[in-house]
Amino acid sequence: MTLDLKYYKETLHFSINFYSLFLIATFIPDLFYVDNSLIKNFFWGLKILLACWVIYRRAFEHTSLRSEEVLFFILAFVYIANLYIDIYLDPLYFITTADGNLDFAGFCLGILIAYSFRYDPAFHSSKSFFFFWITLTAGLVLAYFFAIENLSIDANNVRYDANSTINTILYGQAGCALALVSVFGMVDKKNKVLKVLFLLTFFFGLVSIAKAGSRSPVVVLFVIGVFYFLARLGAVKGLIYFGLIITLLLLNLENIAALLESMGSSLGTRIVNILVEGDTSGREILYNETIDLIKESPLVGVYYVIPSGMGFKSYPHNFFLEVLLATGLLGAIPFIILVCKSLIKSFNLLKDKHESSWMVIIYLQIIVYGMFSTSLYSSQDFWTMLFFIVSLKYVAVKGPTPLVKHNLRSIERSLVLNKKSYAKY
């Protein structure tokens, strides 16, 4: 049996690289008592091989790169050059050779995977959407029953990892992804049975977020909700609809927190801590330390990780601060240009109900999540979706002018009258 490239791109390519199939695969080590690194390495190898296959077959198309794509590769080159200096020419004392090699190879391979997502309508096909939705739901069902309580990340609140590989934060983001694509399904699909199923998976996505106990998916849902409503309904209607939803949630905040607590989730307590006590898990300290480091070398950056302070050996938990820390203005300027262009294009794609809207929503999730969690150099998902968006050649659809609308209505009336006159004979 041979795997057809067309079928692979239309059905599997997205799910292999984002959330769903990896989530399912990571239950194998726990169920069969094998080292989870075997599955992770195998899955990475599979992704690389399949990406090379897609790129190789596309090499025969001889299509030139657009200006935004060229800028993406300039940014990638700047980042790779800085990583090479930080890891091999001027290494930090605490970065081992193995860790440095892994970080450098991981970033380079991530760019390779990103290139395999150069725009192709097959990637956002209906088959791809449904396969992702179904497999992500299946993975989260497994996580619900096999979740492992995480006692190390937060001693004061109950939080769960999906399994020994997917931690509480990634578990929550997977639930967030299911909730987001379910909203798309409810809005986009006409079948009433499907609408009910999407509604069920939307609530199950929220349940997964609650079980994980991670706050970041809640922030992501809030921000993308505003963006989505504004794009689809316009500024006035969007703000009114979203304002009503937020008002209802705030009025029932205590009841929601009690419900979550009855489910054994600490999410309600953690959200209240943000709103009442301003608990940000030390993010403001981390950001201030990162800004001080950036000031030391604003043009070309300092290191790709934080060398001292609260974030020692870690990352700034903010994409914009991280690109400034790692590459300075040299990399930050093209990064900001690309992100801004991608957000404008994303808004227009959602507004015009483009077929890729569900993938756009996942991109928005990743970029919002990257503003307060995860690292830029290891976020293969972000680099991949950024390249997908910037490689999509798209001109926003402009509505017809009043004169055109009037002419269209006149034509419609004429057709109706003619139809009635013919019916008499």
CA distance 231 to 419: 38
pLDDT score at 109: 96
**Of residues 227, 253, 254, the one with CA closest to residue 242:** 227
**In 151-249, where do the E strands start and end?**
159-161
Rounded (10°) CA dihedral 385, 389, 390, 395: 180
Distance of CA 346 to the CA centre of its chain: 13
Can you read off the two tokens belonging to residue 252?
A: 């029932």
CA distance 407 to 6: 42
Can you read off the two tokens belonging to residue 333?
A: 């300027």
Contacts of 267 (CB under 8 A, 6+ apart): 209, 210, 212, 213, 214, 215, 218, 260
Decide if 387 contacts 118 (C-beta within 8 A). yes
pLDDT score at 405: 42
Can you read off the two tokens belonging to residue 6?
A: 């067309």
Question: Taking the chain, what is the end-to-end CA distance rounded to the nearest angstrom?
Answer: 61
pLDDT score at 278: 58
CA distance 286 to 277: 18
Contacts of 26 (CB under 8 A, 6+ apart): 36, 39, 40, 162, 163, 164, 165, 166
- Transcribe 327-357 into DSSP letters: HTHHHHHHHHHHHHHHHHHHHHHHHTT-TTH
Residues present in the chain in total:
425
Decide if 289 contacts 309 (C-beta within 8 A). yes
CA distance 162 to 174: 10
Contacts of 197 (CB under 8 A, 6+ apart): 185
Neighbours of 288 (CB within 10 A): 12
Q: Which helix (H) or strand (E) covers residue 29, if one does? A: helix 28-32
Phi first, then psi: give them for residue 160, nearest 5 degrees: -125, 140
Q: Which helix (H) or strand (E) covers residue 150, if one does? A: strand 148-150
CA distance 214 to 265: 10
Neighbours of 85 (CB within 10 A): 15
Query: At CA 24, angle to CA 22 and CA 29, rounded to 5?
Result: 95
Decide if 198 contacts 154 (C-beta within 8 A). no
pTM of the model: 0.87
CA distance 414 to 417: 5
Could you tell me whether strands 159-161 and 148-150 are parallel, antiparallel, or unpaired per DSSP bridges? antiparallel
CA distance 361 to 376: 19
List Cα–Cα distances, 408 to 230, 397, 398, 411, 414, in angstroms. 27, 17, 16, 5, 10
Kindly give the confidence (pLDDT) of every residue in the chain, 425 residues in length, as a single tens digit, with 9 standing for 90 and above. Answer: 467 899 999 999 999 999 999 999 999 999 998 898 999 999 999 999 999 999 998 876 767 889 999 999 999 999 999 999 999 998 888 888 999 999 999 999 999 999 999 999 999 999 999 999 999 999 999 999 999 988 776 656 678 899 999 999 999 999 999 999 999 999 889 999 999 999 999 999 999 998 888 888 888 998 998 898 888 888 777 778 777 877 877 676 667 667 666 666 666 666 666 666 655 667 788 899 999 999 999 999 999 999 888 888 889 999 999 999 999 999 999 999 999 999 999 999 999 999 999 999 999 999 999 998 889 999 999 999 999 999 998 765 555 444 344 444 444 555 544 544 444 44
Neighbours of 417 (CB within 10 A): 10
Strand partners, 159: 150
Can you read off the two tokens belonging to residue 387?
A: 């390249």
Rounded (10°) CA dihedral 63, 66, 72, 73: 50
Q: Which helix (H) or strand (E) covers residue 149, if one does? A: strand 148-150
